[in-house]
Amino acid sequence: MPEHLLILPGLMCDATMFAATLKAFPSARAIDDHYGGADSIGAMAVHALTAAPDRFALIGHSMGARVALEVVARAPERVTRLMIADTGVHAVRPGEAEQRYALRDLGRCEGFDRLVDAWLPPMLGEAARGDEALTASLRAMCLRAGQTVFEAQTEALLDRPDTGPVLQTIACPTAVVVGAEDRWSDVAQHQAIAARIAGATLHVIAGAGHMAPAEQPHPFNTLIREWLAIPATTPA
């Protein structure tokens, strides 16, 4: 029986981000409801665990990777393997709240479409920015999230839990993935994350920015196949 695969999307993202992955892996499921509007990483993790099978492989992208780490912290015995992509594990940095609230206020004052059009392009690599069909799909995905979801997820990110303790306890096969052109969470940041997880492997996807699963789906799916081929953890 194929291993269950649960995918946790990031800020303003839904299953659209993983359309190629969901097609390639029939046993995969992505959380597709913005975590029920949750405004904390903990509540998002509970939402994901409630929707998940008893045992599952777990992929988290961007904010979803922070949720994935919280899932591991709460229920490590249920996670057979872990992949975290285009993310960070650091605490809130100086100026981060102001930057996030500036986007919030842009949406409030000038419309949510203006917020999306300011936020999305820097998240993409060079090739993706020139791909009209891809950018239109990702823009529509973000617009579906809406201002309320954006604000709830912003608060969740600004009140995010410390991931340090869980990184040291991860015992399942773990892959750390990043787009080579990710300007929001760069390669060096992922090198540091991989170094903190025992046995983790680092993978850099050429030609991709922060939205690597959608920008370069074939290399991303190849990494998933390799990761799924690693013997999984067994219950203690």
3-state secondary structure of 79: strand
Beta-ladder partners of 232: none
Checking if the pLDDT of 114 tops 70, the result is yes
Class of domain 1-236: alpha beta
pLDDT of residue 232: 81
Give me the phi and psi of 169, to 5 degrees please.
Answer: -105, -10
145 with 139: CB under 8 angstroms? no
The sheet with strand 28-30 has its strands ordered as 28-30, 5-8, 56-61, 79-85, 174-179, 201-205
Q: Check residue 77 and give its pLDDT.
A: 97
Instruction: Give the whole-angstrom CA distance, residue 45 versus residue 34.
Output: 12
Residue 235 or residue 139, greater confidence = 139
What pLDDT digit, counting tens, does each position of 52-65 carry?
A: 999 999 999 999 99
- Please give the mean pLDDT across all residues of the chain: 96
Distance (Å, whole) CA 28 – CA 22: 6
d(CA 72, CA 49): 10
Closest listed residue to residue 204, CA positions, set 215, 190, 217, 214: 190
Instruction: Provide mean pLDDT across the span 43-50.
Output: 98
H/E segment holding residue 125:
none
Query: What is this structure's pTM?
Result: 0.96
Two tokens, residue 75: 């229920």
Residues above pLDDT 70, as percent of the chain: 98
Report the DSSP beta bridge partners of residue 177: 85, 203
Give me the pLDDT at residue 206, please.
98
Pairing of β 56-61 and β 79-85: parallel
List pLDDT tens digits, range 163-178.
Answer: 988 999 999 999 999 9
Burial of 155 by CB count in 10 Å (0-12 exposed, 13-18 middle, 19+ buried)?
middle
Q: Is the pLDDT of residue 233 over 90?
A: no
pLDDT at 235 over 60: no
* pLDDT, greater one: 236 or 182: 182
Q: Which residues contact 126 (CB under 8 A, 6 or more apart)?
A: 181, 207, 209
pLDDT for position 72 = 98
State the pLDDT confidence band at 1, using cuts at 50, 70 and 90: low
Mean pLDDT of 102-117: 98
Phi then psi for 120, rounded to 5 degrees? -70, -50
Q: Residue 2 above 90 pLDDT? A: no
pLDDT at residue 164, as a whole number: 86
User: pLDDT band at 132, cuts 50/70/90?
Assistant: very high
pLDDT value for 182: 98
Q: What is the pLDDT of residue 234?
A: 59
Q: What percent of the chain has pLDDT over 90?
A: 95
For 151: left if phi > 0, alpha if psi spans -120 to 50, otherwise beta; the answer is alpha
3-state helix, strand, coil in the chain (%, to 5): 55, 15, 35
- The full set of domain ranges for the chain reads 1-236
Is residue 186's pLDDT more than 80? Answer: yes
Average pLDDT (34-38) is 98
Least Cα distance to 141 among 36, 5, 6, 9 occurs for 9
- Which run of H or E residues covers position 4? none
